[in-house]
Amino acid sequence: MPKLGDRKRAGLFVLLVFLCGAASGTIGANVWERVKTTVSATDSTAPYPTRRRAIEWFSERLNLNTDQREQLTLILDETRSSYKLKEREIDELREAGYTRIREILDPEQAAQFDVLVAKRREKREKKKH
């Protein structure tokens, strides 16, 4: 007759196997989704993958007709264009602020400030890509 400790150990082993399966399934699904996204991103019919996913997502959930899809595409393109324009304005404001900050710093502080700003720019660029 098995000891109680052996039953607990066997139960823990079964639980561990189950958790490993769940984890590998989750990871596999995530990798598959990324592969699908990468493949769709190389599709020349969409200028950027986020727009295409948004169009597909809304079309499926709202059962959009062809005319609605075209209008949605136009709206998303116009919104993106406006967003890019605002991004440039924000960049200009940021640079103007940096210039004003440099004016109040001594040369040593300004040099340190430029290093800090360069690091922030690098982080911002990494987030964009």
**Residue 59: what residue type?**
S
pTM of the model: 0.47
Query: What 3-state class would DSSP assign to 90?
Result: helix
Tell me the pLDDT tens digit for each residue of 12-53.
888 888 888 888 888 887 777 776 655 544 444 444 668 888
Tell me the pLDDT tens digit for each residue of 72-107.
999 999 998 998 999 899 999 999 999 999 999 999
CA dist list (Å): 66 to 55, 61, 63, 77:
11, 14, 10, 17
Mean pLDDT along residues 54-69? 92
Q: Which residues contact 43 (CB under 8 A, 6 or more apart)?
A: 52
| More confident site: 125 or 97 | 97
pLDDT at 60 over 60: yes
> For the residues of 56-88, what is the DSSP string, one character each?
HHHHHHHT--HHHHHHHHHHHHHHHHHHHHHHH
